[in-house]
Amino acid sequence: MRAVLVLNGPNLSRLGTREPDVYGAETLEDLAAMCRKAGAELGLDVDVRQTDDEAELVGWLHEAADKRLPVVLNPAAFTHYSYALRDAIAQRTAPLIEVHISNPAAREEFRHTSVVAAVATGTIAGFGLRSYELALRAVADLTA
């Protein structure tokens, strides 16, 4: 099985309680279970992680680059301003799919810019938690 990291940025530990009209009622644990199940069906060994700490997220991206691991990344608020995250993603050695539960382009103006999109393999947004499943399918296709 091919290992893949599913990395989640700030506030995603609050899924299920944070703005359920935007992010839904499912929890981070629900998301992790869904990703592991979808990954197993695709022949992927999925490791789901979440942090509110930018430095920790950068460290995980360095780990992925060093081990040539594909990544599904929801950078959350870091999407819009973290050049440290952007620079870490630029060092990737395997596909990296940027995901968002909501569609940032349909939300507040400050969410319309992603500083990480230009160094990601691609972006999937606006499909709820299904965005992650679509990203895992993309990883499976790109690493076959």
Catalytic status, residue 83 = no
Find out whether 8 is annotated in a ligand binding site: no
Nearest CA to 58 out of 29, 36, 78, 77 is that of 78
Catalytic status, residue 100 = yes
Find out whether 112 is annotated in a ligand binding site: no
Residues 6+ apart with CB under 8 A from 115: 79, 80, 81, 82, 83, 85, 86
Find out whether 66 is annotated in a ligand binding site: no
Which of 23, 62, 81, 83 is labelled catalytic? 23
- On the CB side of 31, CA atoms within 13 Å amount to 28
Find out whether 137 is annotated in a ligand binding site: no
Which of 62, 81, 83, 100 is labelled catalytic? 100
Find out whether 74 is annotated in a ligand binding site: yes
Q: Can you say which residues are annotated as belonging to the binding site for substrate?
A: 74, 80, 87, 101-102, 111
Q: Which residues are catalytic?
A: 23, 100
